[in-house]
Structure 1
Amino acid sequence: MQAIIGVDIGTTSTKVVLFDLKGTILTNQNNGYPLHQDQPSYAQEDPEQIFAAVVTGIKKVMQIAKQKSWKVLGVSFSAAMHSLILIDGQDKPLTQVITWADNRSEKQSAELRENGLAQALYFKTGTPNHPMTPLTKIMWFREERPQLFAKTAKFIGIKDYIFFKLFGAYVIDEGLASATGMFNIQTMAWDAQALAIAGITTNQLPKLVSTETQFSGMSATMAAQLNLDTDVPFIIGSSDGALANLGVGATNPGQLAVSIGTSGTVRLVVDHPVFDPAGKLFCYVLGKDQWLVGGPVNNGGIVLQWVQEQWFTKDRQSSYAELIKLAAKSVPGAHGLIFLPYLGGERAPIWDADARGSFVGLTRQHTQADMIRAVLEGIVLNLCEVTQMIERVAGPIANVKATGGFSQSAFWVQILADCFNQTVTVSKKSAGSALGAAIMGLHSLEIVPKLALNELASTDQQKWQANPKNAECYQDLMKLWAQISEILEPEYHKIADFQSRCFK
């Protein structure tokens, strides 16, 4: 049997999945590593631990493949966006992996916004101004750690580091490059203005390659560690968000991918770069002649986790299933209770690290069931607002493909279908970005034609239809929800300032 490996380098673990040529999972490995947040606004990881997770995962998957006599045709990669590692002249890391969740460069992000450079950069790079970007992180090092900055020979991401360890070359795919804030998606090259602002040169960045570029010929020692032959091709792939769309088959016009895990995102594939006039949507490269427009939110399932941890005593801790069952005792619209889910600041749609969560409309008549249902609805309505922004710049949504942990709850998926007033399809395949990487790898290897990609991803699915009565209720609620969000937005900085001054 022929097979391909998809590797998904995530924020807290690396998944290595072996697929057959129909997209069926044959075997998989998931190896985790800690996210270090021991200082305020910091979120870092050890690059060697991540590399070890990749090596261990591939090695174990290959052991099973050889036992079964499966022929592995290639290894293709996905990785989380916005990571940064500083490398010295001897190719040694000067820092840990600074992840997308690291907000230490908030001051630099504010400076770009205040001096008017943020918008100009956005319309070239497609990357919203935010501390998540490698651009602002590099600015932080230049201003706050000048000696470390001066020692840096290369500024790279985690997938770039993995490929250097495997093949001895610093390369970055155009998908991940387009999420750095320094790559011009109009010219498909590093942007001179962004690099000048960062204070670096093109030579300090990895070489740009297309998302389907193949690498082979690694050393015999490294191949032995991976349990692979030296001539097995490695396909560099793209970003996890882009490949998640490919993995669920959301690549045709109007097909929206919605994911709610710890955080959440909505993404739509387009055939040309699309920009939001307010700069609040990203536009990243998926692959050749394909771009991804959408928005990420900080507050997904982690808000439900907060409910579980804070609303119930440890000896009466409710499971997620019990919380959902309790929410089902309420009604659509939670008897008029509105929840803004900004417990962890927010990226899209408001891009404000000072954003704070709130219940609005609370009365003595509201029950615990109403409050939990309002939380579930608030998370979805937040994504719905981002989707409305996408529709304004990229056209109408025809259907929705749902992924992430929330898709295991039929009740929550139904809320999504009703709020979006769309048919929602959930794939029973849980490999997401790893499957997208495998599909891109198979296309690069010319094993499957482009027209077959959706067919490979779209099997084994379940559909939810919007309930017309509920959808009408949510359309009214969405208008009110958006108005309240807009009214409160200017107050978040005052609240955050008060909290920092009085409750350190």
Structure 2
Amino acid sequence: MFYIGIDIGTTSTKTITFDKAGNIISKSTREYPIYSPQPDFREQDPEEILKAVVETLEESIMKAGIGAEEISFIAFSSMMHSIIAVGENCKPLTKCIIWSDNRSASYAHRFKDSGKGREIYLKTGTPTHPMSPLYKLMWLKDNEAEIYSKAYKFISIKEYILYKFFKRYIVDYSVASSSGMFNIFNLKWDKEVLDMLELDEAKLPEAVPTTCILQNLDEEICARTGLTAETKFVIGASDGCLASLGSNAVELGIAAATIGTSGAVRIVSKRPVTDDNERFFCYYLSPDRYVVGGAINNGAVVYRWYRDEFTQAEKNEAEKLGAEIHDLLNDKIAKINAGSEGLLFLPFLSGERAPYWDAELRGAYLGIADYHNRIHFARALMEGICYDMKEILDAVKDLSGPVNSVYANGGFTRSQEWVQILCDIFGVEVILTETYESSSLGAVMLGMYATREIDDLKQCSDIVKVKKVIKPRAENICIYEELYKLYREAIERLMPVLKQLSCYKSQ
């Protein structure tokens, strides 16, 4: 039998077919754009994402050469914090407003300053930040009042896909727990929050466990994919939670670190927990596992910005050598000493989530000297992102105790030097697995639990195959410890300036 994981991400959907041992049999990917019609607006077209989901499912099944009867189940993973207002029959009244949208920043700031945001966070586990659908709905209520009042439902992109597949409005506990409106202690929509929004619970989807099994697939999708109404679908969870599961980071003393477009550090707790200082999130995965950690806005998207804006010379060189620009840059970055010869980068190009939860933060290079070149700037950029990740690791260690090893995943793992930098800055071993598509694999692992192929999530840990274990370089640990202190001091001292500079963006 085969298993299929569908990962609905921010920039693409990936559908992967696995065998029972966790080997990838086939994979299909479709990308889609992010639209920014105004400053701070970040939106996507739900129909473009639906099209990507259906096409990748159809293609992955075709590439695998399997029939519906050979598929044990199909499980979903999805990005968090999106919101769509829909009319009856799930007709979109808005675009899909995604996690990086900052239009509700003033609402988040007001609730943070008043202390009300902290009260809500302590019940919901979702930090006070414009990423939260709660604050997006506040903005819609005040700025799109007609849409707000006419909306039949408010749903995320995952619920949009589920409705098109099964004609049901349902949300899993994991995605719901990242909405800012769902109480993670009683697993219900929070009445106080909904009253504040003047929102009837009937306008939200029904919340169900992450192990919920769905059948009766839409006839048109059956015809396209070769699936049947009897094919089992597992509703699954959010991509962050499933990345931890798919990385095998589900036991005490183990963390998961992801750097993709954004980034995150996570551990797993056996119970829901929140932080008095509101440094980390807490989202539901399964009855005895809650994923605790923090996500950063500024992961590989910052590296991509640097590559696109400042490396034309390296691009020309790579073209002459017949090499990949990434490989050329990585080779050069590896020759620069740890600490980039005193060049420090604060990576807040698009504000920041954990641990500051401030959309108005901005980035900076510090310590620039005339002996620094473009490669110093590139290495400092990687180091700055890893310092940002270490701040989250330190916060979750306050909760969990020591972290002895970190499972790393995401696109950054294709850069050996970047992974080594993370290892040196964290000061613990970093484990790479063969499948860096950990959210899709995590969805399949959760599906195995949902369909009772296993009795506990620990039982499928052997399908996560270790590719490499990286040890920190002793000579670099002390250097990075000192620079990390300077990094934190620089943020503390410069934060007012960096926030004021955000006022000068183009309108």
Q: Structure 1 residue 320 and structure 2 residue 326: aligned?
A: yes
2:478 to 451, 472, 478: 472
Task: Check whether the contact 2:217–2:231 (CA below 8 A) recurs between aligned residues.
Answer: no
> SS of the counterpart of 2:379?
helix
Report the Cα distance in structure 2 between the residues aligned to 1:292 and 1:67, rounded to whole angstroms: 34
User: Is this contact kept in 1: 2:34–2:44, CA < 8 A?
Assistant: yes
- The answer (yes or no) to whether the contact 1:254–1:395 under 8 Å persists in 2 is yes
Contact residue 344 and residue 353 of structure 1 kept, 8 A:
yes
Q: Does the 8 Å CA contact 1:329/1:369 hold for their aligned counterparts?
A: no
Structure 1 residues 447 and 472 mapped into 2: Cα distance closer, same or farther (>3 Å)? same
One-letter amino acid matched to 2:255 = L
Using the size of structure 2 for normalisation, the TM-score is 0.95
> Hey, what does 2:322 align to over in structure 1?
none
Cα distance per residue 1:316-336 (max 9 Å; x no partner): 476222222222222111222
Tell which deviates more after alignment, 34-43 or 313-322. Answer: 313-322
Correspondence list, 1:56-71, <5 A:
56-66=55-65, 71=70
**Residue matched to 2:87:** 88
Cα distance in structure 2, aligned partners of 1:369 and 1:66: 46
- Structure 1 segments unaligned to the other structure (5+ residues): none
Matched, 1:234 2:215: no
Contact 1:182/1:191 (<8 A) preserved: yes
Change (3 A) 1:48 1:475: same
TM superposition shift of 1:69: 9.0
CA contact (8 A) 1:78 1:240 kept: yes
Q: How much does 1:349 deviate?
A: 1.9
Shift of 1:369: 3.2
Match of residue 199 from structure 2: 200
CA displacement at 1:292 relative to structure 2: 0.8
Partner residue in 2 for 1:455? 462
CA positional deviation for 1:66: 4.7
1:374 is aligned to 380
- Distance in 1 of aligned mates of 2:34 and 2:317: 25
User: Would the alpha carbon gap of residues 388 and 72 (structure 1) be closer, same or farther in structure 2, given more than 3 Å must change?
Assistant: same
Determine the C-alpha separation between the residues in 1 that align with 2:370 and 2:56.
53
The CA deviation string for residues 201-249 of structure 1, in whole angstroms up to 9 with x for no partner, is 1111000100001011234444223311211111000000000111111
Contact 2:67 2:226 in 1 (8 A): no
Name the residue aligned to 1:105.
104
SS across alignment from 2:90: coil
Q: Does the 8 Å contact 1:5/1:74 carry over to 2? A: yes
Please state whether the residue corresponding to 2:372 is helix, strand or coil: coil
Instruction: Pick the aligned partner of 2:394 from 388, 395, 404.
Output: 388
Alignment partners' CA distance in 1, 2:450 and 2:68: 23
Aligned 8 A contact 2:18 2:24 in 1: yes
5 Å matches for 1:81-480?
Answer: 81-313=80-312, 316=316, 319-450=325-456, 451-457=458-464, 459-480=465-486
Q: Which runs of 5+ in 2 are unaligned?
A: 319-324
CA contact (8 A) 2:78 2:237 kept: yes
Query: 1:251 offset after TM fit, Å?
Result: 0.7
CA contact (8 A) 1:297 1:348 kept: yes
3-state secondary structure, aligned to 1:470: helix
**C-alpha spacing 1:317/1:125, structure 2 compared with 1 (3 Å):** farther
Separation in structure 1 between the aligned mates of residue 67 and residue 154 of structure 2, nearest angstrom: 41
CA distance in 1: counterparts of 2:388 and 2:104, whole angstroms = 25
Distance, in Å, in 1 between the alignment partners of 2:365 and 2:48 is 41
Residues 396-437 of structure 1: per-residue CA shift (max 9 Å, x gap)? 212000111111111111111111010000112132111110
Quote the Cα distance in structure 2 between the aligned partners of 1:15 and 1:82.
19
> Is the alpha carbon distance of 1:91 and 1:312 closer, same or farther for their aligned partners in structure 2, counting shifts above 3 Å?
closer
Query: Contact 2:183–2:190 (CA<8 Å) still a contact in 1?
Result: yes
Give the RMSD, CA atoms, in angstroms.
1.8
CA distance in 2, matches of 1:317, 1:294: 40
Counterpart CA distance in 1 for 2:311 and 2:415 is 21
Q: What residue is the counterpart of 1:55 in the other structure? A: 54
The SS at the match of 1:355 is coil
How far apart are the structure 1 equivalents of 2:311 and 2:134?
41
In structure 2, do the counterparts of structure 1 residues 365 and 397 end up closer, same or farther at CA, with 3 Å as the change threshold?
A: same
TM-fit CA distance, 1:90:
4.3
Quote the Cα distance in structure 1 between the aligned partners of 2:341 and 2:15: 45
Alignment deviations for residues 173-228 of structure 1 (CA, whole Å, 9 cap, x no partner): 00000000000001111111211222211111000100001011234444223311
| SS of structure 1 residue aligned to 2:88 | coil
Contact 2:90 2:163 in 1 (8 A): no
Structure 1 residue matching 2:7: 3-state secondary structure:
strand
Change (3 A) 1:418 1:20: same
Task: Name the CA distance, whole Å, in 2 between partners of 1:280 and 1:441.
Answer: 31
Q: How many residues align?
A: 499
